[in-house]
């Protein structure tokens, strides 16, 4: 084989490798950003799978199922329950944290337990944030997730700054490029949950912002850790990460070990 042909093949291989590593470089940048925001927590460089669930799925009786979901490939679990009391959220968070710790030891991967403080009444949501910002509550979870409407709220930002100072991972939902840029400028959030990607049963009749929004946000907010949410399925998850996301969040597509493994496998194809 001639040296010219060998040289040509080498260039082709290098180009292919650069293409494969493009998402990886973005994820590494995001990992560095989130580590700077929260030194005690390092966001993983693999695709993030975040299961969103309610307190009713996080009881002691259901611990084996939750552990199995973590071990099947879910990396983060977010408790989202608009109607639960603070006591119910804390109980669920403690169960979830135990599952995350157990699965972390078994898999060698960092598994996170996150609490969404959203509530239909803003004052109740603020109360949740204050309660979960204390040191005792932080011991039963790894982070807080905020609704988009709290990004520009000075009162809430003061509370999130306190929680951040105690080592809690902070994330928030965004549904527009303006909200994403505002959240990024604050420098307090380790990740943004971007939605909605596709039509979803959670918001029946809502016109999804679409994968195009993920493309725009990933370009406008380089280095920010992004998770796509809304109608995520194994058949469409690759579109989301191809648009710049470092993972996906879902309710129904991750609510069993079998589903979690299937979604993880779909993203593994993209990584290879």
From first to last of its 272 residues, what are the pLDDT tens digits of the chain? Answer: 434 333 433 443 443 344 334 444 433 433 333 333 333 334 444 799 999 999 999 999 999 999 999 999 999 999 999 999 988 999 999 999 999 999 999 999 999 999 998 987 888 888 888 777 765 566 788 888 999 988 877 666 666 666 666 667 889 999 999 999 999 998 889 999 999 999 998 877 889 999 999 999 999 999 999 999 999 999 999 999 999 999 999 999 999 999 999 999 999 875 55
Q: Which stretch of DSSP H or E encloses residue 6?
A: helix 3-37
Q: Which stretch of DSSP H or E encloses residue 249?
A: strand 247-250
For the chain, the domains span 24-271
Q: Which stretch of DSSP H or E encloses residue 225?
A: strand 225-229
Q: How many angstroms separate the first and last alpha carbons of the chain?
A: 28
**22 close to 240: Cβ distance less than 8 angstroms:** no
**68 close to 261: Cβ distance less than 8 angstroms:** no
Nearest to 166, CA basis, from 140, 190, 134, 144: 134
Cis preceding linkage at 196, omega within 30:
yes
* 141 vs 147: CA distance, rounded Å: 18
Provide CATH code, domain 24-271.
3.20.20.70
pLDDT tens-digit map of 152-185: 776 666 666 666 666 678 899 999 999 999 999 9
pLDDT of residue 174: 97
What global pTM score does this model have? 0.82
């Amino acid at each position: 084989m001639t040296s010219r042909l060998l040289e040509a093949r080498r260039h082709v291989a290098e180009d292919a490798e650069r293409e494969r590593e493009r998402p990886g470089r973005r994820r590494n940048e995001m990992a560095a950003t989130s580590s700077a925001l929260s030194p005690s927590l390092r966001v993983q460089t693999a695709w993030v799978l975040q299961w969103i669930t309610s307190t009713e799925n996080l009881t002691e009786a259901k611990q084996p199922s939750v552990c199995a979901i973590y071990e099947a490939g879910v990396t983060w679990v977010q408790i989202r329950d608009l109607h639960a009391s603070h006591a119910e959220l804390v109980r669920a968070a403690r169960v979830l944290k135990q599952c995350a710790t157990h699965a972390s030891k078994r898999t060698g991967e960092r598994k996170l337990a996150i609490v969404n403080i959203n509530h239909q009444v803003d004052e109740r949501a603020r109360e949740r944030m204050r309660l979960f910002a204390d040191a005792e509550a932080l011991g039963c979870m790894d982070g807080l997730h905020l609704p988009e409407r709290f990004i520009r709220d000075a009162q809430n930002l003061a509370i999130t700054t306190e929680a951040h100072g105690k080592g809690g991972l902070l994330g928030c939902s965004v549904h527009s490029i303006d909200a994403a840029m505002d959240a990024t400028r604050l420098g307090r959030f380790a990740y943004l949950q971007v939605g909605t990607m596709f039509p979803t049963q959670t918001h029946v009749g809502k016109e999804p912002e679409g994968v195009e929004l993920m493309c725009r946000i990933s370009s406008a907010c380089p280095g920010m850790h992004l998770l796509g949410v809304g109608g995520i399925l194994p058949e469409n998850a690759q579109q989301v990460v191809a648009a710049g996301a470092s993972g996906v969040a879902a309710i129904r597509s991750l609510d069993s070990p079998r589903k979690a493994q299937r979604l993880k496998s779909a993203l593994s194809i993209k990584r290879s």
